Amino acid sequence: MAWAGFKLRQAWLGYHERELYRAFIKLSPWVARNLILPDGLGGRIHVDYLILTSCALHWVSVFMVRGSVFGSHNMAEWAVFDSDQRWTFPNPLVTFPHKTSAIHALIGDSVPLAMDLLFLDNPEFPKGRVEGVWLQTEYFEHLKAELNSG
């Protein structure tokens, strides 16, 4: 039974992954997904999406989260509360400087880089969101505006 649940979740995530990719392709002339890049220190970094607009190269990390999310720059872990469940995940902002260095080592400093955290499933952020944290609908509006401004 657990295996069937796992396969169902994989299919569900795969569907949303394809839909998200299609939506990005409609917006931007250049989209890359699921990349593994050298980190400049002998390791590797995973990239969910790189999206090029007329204003910047967007490094997009995608999170499928429901419920209420509590996170800030200073927290080691972000907490998610959904119904009677609670879990945490490492603060994704901590890796931003490392990721920024890795991408600049590959493409140089001349291209502006935006580090974006995209949360799907419309979670709530009761204490507010830090800069660079987006919900799906508003993120697409943001990208559209950026593409239209260039």
> What is the pLDDT, as a whole number, of residue 16?
72
The 10 Å Cβ neighbour count of residue 3 is 7
Q: Who's near 25: CB < 8 A, 6+ residues apart?
A: 31
Q: Who's near 16: CB < 8 A, 6+ residues apart?
A: 64, 120
Q: Assign 82 to helix, strand or coil.
A: strand
> 97 lies in which domain range?
2-149
CATH number at residue 15: 3.40.1350
Q: What are residue 75's phi and psi, to 5 degrees?
A: -85, 135
Q: Tell me the pTM.
A: 0.84
> What is the pLDDT, as a whole number, of residue 5?
43
Rounded distance between C-alpha atoms, residue 17 and residue 41, angstroms: 30
> What is the pLDDT, as a whole number, of residue 127?
94
The total of structural domains in the chain comes to 1
Q: Assign 54 to helix, strand or coil.
A: coil
> What is the pLDDT, as a whole number, of residue 15?
65
Rounded distance between C-alpha atoms, residue 23 and residue 17, angstroms: 10
> What is the pLDDT, as a whole number, of residue 42?
86
Per-residue pLDDT of the chain (150 residues; tens, 9 = 90+): 444 444 444 455 566 778 888 888 888 879 999 889 888 788 898 899 999 988 899 999 999 888 999 999 999 999 999 988 999 999 999 988 888 888 888 888 888 999 999 998 889 999 999 999 999 889 999 888 887 776
